[in-house]
Structure 1
């Protein structure tokens, strides 16, 4: 992986440094170790290497401290997946809504510096000449920037690189950004589909860290991403949601389906940043909702996600979010995450089935049957971990999430009968209410998407499922209601300092204050 980085840096240095040669580029005077832009285009490195970097930095692969701030100490925690035992900043930090601006700049900075910039560079070189590379960059941009929008709301997308006379760069509202996402995905899907239909050369393989240059799988991913975004806006923009969702569902190549279709970036030989956070720094443990749901359901995925505590072979404990932690040692013996392989997961095949299940609830064309899609989603998740005997789990109609007991402090307990403790079971019930059907779908989807906390947080905000536990300590200064949970991160301080006029205009699109308590455009949950 270091070789890829070095090659990309060499390309940039070569393009912008200049070098001596004769007027006729005589081969005698040409440095045999130099290469010009035409040569780079010939083997597609000029576009491919930047797009390799874009993939690697969807979650920054080689800088665990930055990855910790890019996602782990916000979405991974807010989603109910994980919780640090570490009382960062005197126990006033994101985990208890004491939002730290110097932490919360990072998701923005990484996306723009390493993904948006790389995609823009590649598209400038590909424009009008290499439509397949241009389309690939569009898909990567949407994957990266919808995540950024789902953190902050308004983002710089369609105006990227356009400087106004007042030196500002305009934002898109979240609605505008989503509409641009759909347009870009539609264009990219059409371009790559034409390449596939015409049996044209597929040229990604040297740079593709997800599908090894398989255009059909990129189209299936783009279709599934389109369906993801369509489902996300259903509550606020149902006509647009249906139009985009049905376009994804009717595409002949379909959605992610085969086990090898899951979207995971190969960062080998670099280790997964979560491994560093959990094992080297001891800054990461299982969350309380994970303990409650996985142990309550007797879910066989539990040992594929977490390690038993120091207390015993089959004992798992998670830490509740937003509690009083006096010292790291207090909770460091709770369940660690398993050690992850050298791939960073962003979309599972199971998610595609659960998206179809929800689309079926809305009666979208080509969505199929909600019950069947729900079952297929659970089966796909079990296949991902090579777990047999899925039928016993799917047909269980008695198991429910367990009450939560904190062996260190009973003030953190979630007792039986708590409104934050779900009563939903696993087996599909065709006679259930629409709300109960949705809770089943999203609860199983939440389990299956682990450890992709960004998407899990977005789904919780959109639906309120699965039921999570509110923070015990709320350090937001009354800007985030405890029982309503955190809804977004404020616009980064860096932008407020360097792009203030555009930030002022962007804030007007929020429909509320620029705080963690203001819901995003698609977040209509009370």
Structure 2
């Protein structure tokens, strides 16, 4: 890690064994191979890579973005039926630890007395550590929500079960329990928020989430506490409520200006994961259950004006959507979802279903890590389903998507009263393109329910044009064997059987239904 020291020792050795010192001054000056990478560059790479991996076409598009029925596949339906690819589990697992190592490196460079003064040139040392801890909390909350028990790293806790990211000392780390991980993530976020100096930048450049704004990082940490603690309430209300109270007192997101969004560029080389997925392919369209909800055909919320912002008319070509030059229709009949988990989607003409809108399918579409609308839905639930916070959440989501104010006012005025079903269902709409969180909320609450989502064994009636093309009026959702609900988790990567078999076996032994998608996580008690 001490790369400057390594180079210094190398130069010293050359001096001791050479009778000539000509040119030695240049040995430590190679502009094309710097002594070490500054932390702002590592951070920039880490946040982008985290978003790229966890929100791409396979690790979200063919997992929970399908399972939560935001999208359906246009060519085949295996992943829609929960028969996902082993490569997705392997990619999520391995890449999460690779990326976590980048944030640990930032922490180490800021703690090392030799490198700390140098990296302070790109941002406050403690703020860099705090932001890295927050990103580690994001990574490990995703990991444990996907798999259950996983190897875990903590900056501030010396628990012997926290053995991840210590590759020089521990080759086969134990799997920390989900309960321990959740408790420590809350502690890490609390300490991170408290250590941030809001008077100084996190980074002077290279922060493509908040542009170095320390106050926004503090709000993000506190808002993440609400998310994690609210999920914990069903099994440990005391810890959860204490964490929630401290987070609110410390300061949470207060508007869409505080949204945590990984930014992308307009070039293909640095474009959003789903723009990259659509370069030369058209594997996804918006799923019928989600379109039906937005059109008011299902649910109890009426026609949702976000339909026209989130979805393109079915007549819009993929090229016109990518160019952003199609004509937006305000006629609901021009919008139609692709039937979810439909076995013969290849028989459907392209003009019978809608793609996502050009607001989604654009190279600089930002990946949301958390947003103000979610915070308001959390506050509604935390405060016994407060109506004002619930309405604020809907309003914030609509404003983010660019819905006109008059349409927002009309929709909000007709919302049914806040309760668990209504708050979580509207939260589900707001979490469009944030499928990991929507899937976690479904597992925790069971909403949106079967009135909206198509569950295994249920049938769906096709609209006339799709029925005519496929020669089917209805079809049954046939999911993976023994599935009566959405997956509760994904299976551990098979590579772990060789790499860390003993600890893997111990983790699997704690799962109620073994290493299957049928094993619930500890907080999934609905």
Assess, with a 3 A threshold, how the Cα gap between structure 1 residues 474 and 515 changes in structure 2: closer, same or farther. farther
1:357 is aligned to: 380
What is the Cα deviation at residue 166 of structure 1?
9.3
TM-score of the aligned structures, taking structure 1 as reference length: 0.78
Cα distance in structure 2, aligned partners of 1:249 and 1:111: 29
Assess, with a 3 A threshold, how the Cα gap between structure 1 residues 226 and 332 changes in structure 2: closer, same or farther. farther
What is the Cα deviation at residue 145 of structure 1?
1.8
Question: 2:110 is matched with which residue: 126, 131, 147?
Answer: 126
Assess, with a 3 A threshold, how the Cα gap between structure 1 residues 178 and 328 changes in structure 2: closer, same or farther. farther
What is the Cα deviation at residue 180 of structure 1?
1.5
2:470 is aligned to: none
Assess, with a 3 A threshold, how the Cα gap between structure 1 residues 385 and 104 changes in structure 2: closer, same or farther. same
2:409 is aligned to: 391
What is the Cα deviation at residue 439 of structure 1?
0.9
Cα distance in structure 2, aligned partners of 1:258 and 1:75: 27
Cα distance in structure 1, aligned partners of 2:496 and 2:139: 18
2:441 is aligned to: 459
CA RMSD between the two structures: 2.9
Cα distance in structure 1, aligned partners of 2:303 and 2:71: 19
Q: Secondary structure at the match of 1:492?
A: coil
Cα distance in structure 2, aligned partners of 1:281 and 1:358: 40
Assess, with a 3 A threshold, how the Cα gap between structure 1 residues 102 and 32 changes in structure 2: closer, same or farther. closer
Assess, with a 3 A threshold, how the Cα gap between structure 1 residues 205 and 302 changes in structure 2: closer, same or farther. farther
2:290 is aligned to: 290
What is the Cα deviation at residue 394 of structure 1?
0.9
> Which 10-residue stretch deviates more, 325-334 or 279-288?
325-334
Question: 1:307 is matched with which residue: 303, 312, 330?
Answer: 312
Cα distance in structure 2, aligned partners of 1:357 and 1:349: 12
Assess, with a 3 A threshold, how the Cα gap between structure 1 residues 28 and 485 changes in structure 2: closer, same or farther. closer
TM-score of the aligned structures, taking structure 2 as reference length: 0.78
Confirm or deny: 8 A CA contact 2:289 2:340 kept in the other structure.
no
Task: Identify the structure with bigger relative contact order (alpha carbons < 8 Å, sequence gap 6+).
Answer: 1
Cα distance in structure 2, aligned partners of 1:156 and 1:134: 21
Cα distance in structure 2, aligned partners of 1:324 and 1:303: 28
2:322 is aligned to: none
Structure 1 unaligned segments of length 5 or more: list them: 1-10, 362-368, 397-425, 430-436
| 1:112 to 2:97 alignment | yes
Q: Secondary structure at the match of 1:243?
A: helix
Cα distance in structure 1, aligned partners of 2:5 and 2:79: 42
Cα distance in structure 2, aligned partners of 1:239 and 1:465: 24
Cα distance in structure 2, aligned partners of 1:57 and 1:30: 30
| 1:336 to 2:355 alignment | yes
Q: How many residues align?
A: 448
The aligned runs of 1:23-422 (5 Å cut-off) are 23=15, 27=25, 30-31=28-29, 33=31, 37=35, 46-60=38-52, 67-87=56-76, 91=77, 93-113=78-98, 115-127=99-111, 129=116, 130-157=125-152, 158-162=162-166, 167-192=171-196, 195-196=197-198, 199=199, 201-251=200-250, 254-269=251-266, 270-278=270-278, 280-296=280-296, 297-310=302-315, 313=329, 314=331, 315-325=334-344, 327=346, 333-339=352-358, 340=360, 341=362, 342=364, 343-361=366-384, 370-387=386-403, 388-389=405-406, 390-396=408-414
Structure 2 unaligned segments of length 5 or more: list them: 16-20, 117-124, 153-161, 297-301, 317-327, 457-475
Q: Secondary structure at the match of 1:513?
A: coil
Q: Secondary structure at the match of 2:234?
A: coil
| Deviation digits for residues 211-264 of structure 1 (CA, Å, limit 9, x no counterpart) | 11000000001101010001111112222211211121121xx21122221111
2:319 is aligned to: none
Cα distance in structure 1, aligned partners of 2:511 and 2:254: 37
What is the Cα deviation at residue 272 of structure 1?
1.9
Cα distance in structure 2, aligned partners of 1:331 and 1:461: 33
Cα distance in structure 2, aligned partners of 1:164 and 1:33: 29
Cα distance in structure 2, aligned partners of 1:521 and 1:106: 24
Confirm or deny: 8 A CA contact 1:96 1:323 kept in the other structure.
no
Assess, with a 3 A threshold, how the Cα gap between structure 1 residues 30 and 229 changes in structure 2: closer, same or farther. closer
1:410 is aligned to: none
Q: Secondary structure at the match of 2:271?
A: coil
| Deviation digits for residues 291-315 of structure 1 (CA, Å, limit 9, x no counterpart) | 1210002111112111011299432
What is the Cα deviation at residue 475 of structure 1?
4.8
What is the Cα deviation at residue 279 of structure 1?
6.4
| Deviation digits for residues 256-302 of structure 1 (CA, Å, limit 9, x no counterpart) | 12222111111214222223435631101111221121000211111
What is the Cα deviation at residue 112 of structure 1?
1.5
| Deviation digits for residues 125-144 of structure 1 (CA, Å, limit 9, x no counterpart) | 12265322111110001112
Confirm or deny: 8 A CA contact 2:97 2:165 kept in the other structure.
no
